[in-house]
Amino acid sequence: MVHLDLRKIGDAGVAVLRMDNPPVNSIGSQVRVALGERLAAALADDTVQAIVLTGTGKFFCSGADIREFNTPKTQIRPLLRELIATVETAGKPIVAAINGTALGGGLELTLGCHGRVASEDAKLGLPEVKLGVLPGAGGTQRLPRVVGVPAALNIIVEGEPLTAQQALECGLVDEVAADPVEAACRLALEIRRGERASRAIDPAPLGDVVPANVFEEARRNAQRRYRGCIAPQECIACIEKTLHTDLQTGLTFEAERFKFLVEGDQSKAQRHIFFAERKAAKLPTSAPAAEVRSVGVIGAGTMGGGIAMSLVNAGIPVVLFEQSEEALQRGLGVIQKNYEVSRKRGRFTQEEIDARLALIRRSLDYSDLADVDLVIEAAFEDMQVKKDIFAKLDQACKKDAILATNTSRLDINEIAAVTSRPAQVLGMHFFSPANVMRLLEVVKGARTADTVLATVFRLAQRIGKIPVLVGVCDGFVGNRMVSHYTREAYFLLEEGCTPAQVDGALRRFGMAMGPLQMQDMAGLDISWAARKRQAATRPAHLRYSKVADRICEMGRFGQKTGSGFYRYEAGSREPIPDPEIDALIAQCAAEAGITRREISDEEIVARTIYALVNEAARIVQDGIAQRPSDIDVVYVAGYGFPMFRGGPMFYADTVGLPKVLETIRQFHAEHGQYWEPAPLLVELAESGRRFSDL
Ligand code: NAD
């Protein structure tokens, strides 16, 4: 757990304490106990003049063991705070040799040290805010005293790690070295001999080192960027404490605020999502993954362009195939424009962009796809178009190539059936914009082979996506659920709401965007086409809202036509309520014989979110998703569901399934068949279980 190595440097002795807790060197209760013992031994040993703390492999220490949160193990002494205090007040210099990643509690440990040396590839950060908590072992009190208030605000509230070079520039580390342990031993002895100043923290209040509005502005920014999240605000409050309170008082305040957050629903939800993402990435198979060396992308439209960018960003060569030179030019133009925006924002240099563009080979000929390992089709959403393409791909591509479709809703098995290789056909459902959104629904067809899934999962991770395994059905997981959510939004309009009221209630709930605004963004024509397709099989006795159809009939397809549920000024995405739409809604309601009424935010949220939950329960029961937590990942990563509510399933568990069921039964009685409770929900609620028990 913690190794002690005594080194002789000249005539001085240095104790090197090396934490070793694979795989990520987290600092759980066992490591704390071992480190406490080793530290005490080194401090008591008269032959030891200085101490160096380091880690193993790529990790200095990745932070506290999250699995121990809210368990008695966190109370096993020494606590991390106590260990850091021992380091800070030690009679011998203690220097951190940050050999790799130092995150959270790991970085906080180094802040108690008297010097810090980082390896060239080290990453240093306090990402606690992403788990809905704050750095609770002194990070909010010591970091501002080391790097200043503005840098500390940035590091703690954003939660993004710094590179070694950035850490050096802001004074977080004293040196960057190829051999950090060797450099740290030297630095520790120099401090011991008084040749270098110790970086021990000055416990006095910092005073008014920044203008008063810095914190106001930080609060406003955090409020805007992390709407509804309480952890960023608590981080800011703790940092503000450093101005006028001493270290000890600040640490007590920080510990209280940490306790408040770690015991709250938001942090539980965020930790749930953290583990859910990791669980989703595990396939129920140990089949081997093959290497994907190059990829063909069919269609250079909205999705194809974004998919191509994701691939070349990870250094994977792409053959970008289109049906005409004109379409190809248009698609490449959009890709270039997107990269240009990134360059202006400082994300990529021109050389980096050129290198990426050079990886894209343009193609109008299927024979160019003969050697690719994988093809991702992103042509029009039309079964016949897709079948034609897959038949041609089957002819053109090498025998072991994988053929994937980015279809949003179509039957993968029907597409696979036109090929001679159904085991190598699957869905790869990216989300728009595909170069930004991290979710990837990996759709397993009836005959898709396990090795194909393993290969695609590995590729997904290589290009920075979060893959979730789903089964074939209309809309897979995400879009199948969203149909129920938007249906209720349309019904609420007829029953008395305005679009702004529905969207506002859901934004206040925490959704990144309301359902109607989302429809306007995606394009109303897309769901209109789907509804027309489904019209023939839609049972006549079921309620159907004509609002969206009527809006489309007016030629209003959302943002792309400058109007939909809202209107838009040229070049703006800001939705503006439109009285014409209010009148249309009232007319549709009158035609359907609906008396409009006052509707509360609470009802809007229950009607839409429980519609998601009820359908999700059916999806789990049908085996379309592997586990409820996968659905949470889909909704948080792909549909703007608030991370601090943990996804629809976790949210339902938090509300309590009996209560959710009771409300759904009430809706069933009032609104009819759509609300028939999902059998799985009934079973769980009535047996006192939760989705998370499955
Ligand atoms: P799009 O209309 O922007 O692009 C489609 C492109 O495919 C066009 O450039 C077209 O020229 C090209 N194309 C059409 N037929 C072709 C053929 N036979 N050979 C080569 N190229 C051909 O559409 P999009 O929004 O990018 O959607 C593409 C696919 O992705 C659809 O199946 C859609 O359902 C799915 N999808 C879309 C979104 C979204 O938000 N737009 C999200 C997820 C999935």
DSSP states along 110-144: HHTSSEEEEETT-EEE-GGGGGT---TTTHHHHHH
Query: What ranges in 296-382 are assigned the alpha helix state H?
Result: 302-313, 325-344, 350-358
The whole-number pLDDT of residue 51 equals: 98
Q: How far is CA 525 from CA 406, 529, 555, 559, in A?
A: 18, 6, 9, 11
Residue 611 pLDDT level (bands cut at 50, 70, 90): very high
The best mutation among 406, 411, 513 to test binding of ligand 1, ranked by most ligand atoms within 8 Å of the C-beta, falls on 406
351 given a catalytic annotation: no
Residue 374 pLDDT level (bands cut at 50, 70, 90): very high
The whole-number pLDDT of residue 591 equals: 96
Tell the residue number behind the tokens 């400058």, with chain if given: 562
Count CB neighbours of 597 within 10 A.
8
Amino acid present at 183: A
Rg of the chain over all Cα atoms, to the nearest angstrom: 28
Q: Considering only CA atoms, which of 488, 483, 487 is closest in space to residue 603?
A: 488
Asked if residue 527 has pLDDT above 90, the reply is no
> Are the CB atoms for 38 and 1 separated by under 8 Å?
no
The whole-number pLDDT of residue 190 equals: 97
Residue 164 pLDDT level (bands cut at 50, 70, 90): very high
Q: How far is the CA of 301 from the centre of ligand 1 (A)?
A: 5
The whole-number pLDDT of residue 211 equals: 92
Q: How far is the CA of 63 from the centre of ligand 1 (A)?
A: 43
**3 state SS of 207:** coil
Asked if residue 470 has pLDDT above 90, the reply is yes
CA–CA separation, 277 and 229 (whole Å): 20
Q: Ligand 1: which atom is nearest the Cα of residue 300?
A: 9
Strands 439-444 and 425-430: antiparallel
The whole-number pLDDT of residue 69 equals: 80
Asked if residue 497 has pLDDT above 90, the reply is yes
Q: Which two tokens stand for residue 82?
A: 């106590």
Q: Ligand 1: which atom is nearest the Cα of residue 430?
A: 43
Q: Considering only CA atoms, which of 26, 634, 693, 632 is closest in space to residue 272?
A: 632
Average pLDDT over residues 392-398: 98
Chain-centre distance of CA 641, in angstroms? Answer: 11
**3 state SS of 54:** strand
Identify the residue whose C-alpha is closest to ligand 1 atom 31.
381
Residue 413 pLDDT level (bands cut at 50, 70, 90): very high
108 given a catalytic annotation: yes
CA–CA separation, 316 and 310 (whole Å): 9
Q: Ligand 1: which atom is nearest the Cα of residue 386?
A: 18
Q: Considering only CA atoms, which of 100, 117, 202, 127 is closest in space to residue 168?
A: 117
The whole-number pLDDT of residue 74 equals: 84
Residue 72 pLDDT level (bands cut at 50, 70, 90): confident
Asked if residue 68 has pLDDT above 90, the reply is no
The best mutation among 323, 330, 338, 409 to test binding of ligand 1, ranked by most ligand atoms within 8 Å of the C-beta, falls on 323
CA–CA separation, 199 and 180 (whole Å): 17
Of the candidates 82, 88, 108, 277, the residue annotated as catalytic is 108
CA–CA separation, 109 and 96 (whole Å): 8
Of the candidates 37, 82, 128, 598, the residue annotated as catalytic is 128
**3 state SS of 72:** helix
Average pLDDT over residues 44-63: 97
Average pLDDT over residues 164-185: 97
Average pLDDT over residues 282-298: 95
Count CB neighbours of 210 within 10 A.
17
Strands 94-98 and 425-430: unpaired
Backbone angles phi, psi at 177, to 5 degrees: -140, 150
Q: Is the dihedral of CA 262, 267, 268, 271 positive or negative?
A: negative
The whole-number pLDDT of residue 284 equals: 86
Asked if residue 14 has pLDDT above 90, the reply is yes
Residue 216 pLDDT level (bands cut at 50, 70, 90): very high
- Kindly report, residue by residue over 105-140, the tens digit of the pLDDT: 999 999 999 999 999 999 999 999 999 999 999 999
Ligand 1-lining residues (CB < 6 angstroms): 298-304, 321-323, 327, 331, 378-381, 385, 389, 406-408, 430-432, 522
The whole-number pLDDT of residue 322 equals: 98
CA dihedral 27, 31, 32, 38 (to 10 degrees): -130
Q: Can the peptide bond before residue 23 be classed as cis, meaning omega within 30 degrees of 0?
A: yes
> Are the CB atoms for 469 and 620 separated by under 8 Å?
no
Q: How far is the CA of 663 from the centre of ligand 1 (A)?
A: 40
CA–CA separation, 466 and 644 (whole Å): 18
pLDDT mean across residues, the chain: 96
CA–CA separation, 139 and 102 (whole Å): 13
Q: What percent of the chain is predicted at pLDDT more than 90?
A: 93
Asked if residue 585 has pLDDT above 90, the reply is yes
Amino acid present at 53: L
For residues 490-526, one letter each, b for 16 or more C-beta atoms within 10 angstroms of the residue's C-beta and e for the rest, the string is bbbbbbbbbbbbbbbbbbebbbebbbbbbbbbbbbbe
Question: How much is the pTM?
Answer: 0.90
Average pLDDT over residues 213-231: 95
The whole-number pLDDT of residue 540 equals: 87
Count CB neighbours of 333 within 10 A.
12
Asked if residue 154 has pLDDT above 90, the reply is yes
**3 state SS of 35:** helix
The best mutation among 408, 437, 513, 526 to test binding of ligand 1, ranked by most ligand atoms within 8 Å of the C-beta, falls on 408
CA–CA separation, 333 and 9 (whole Å): 61
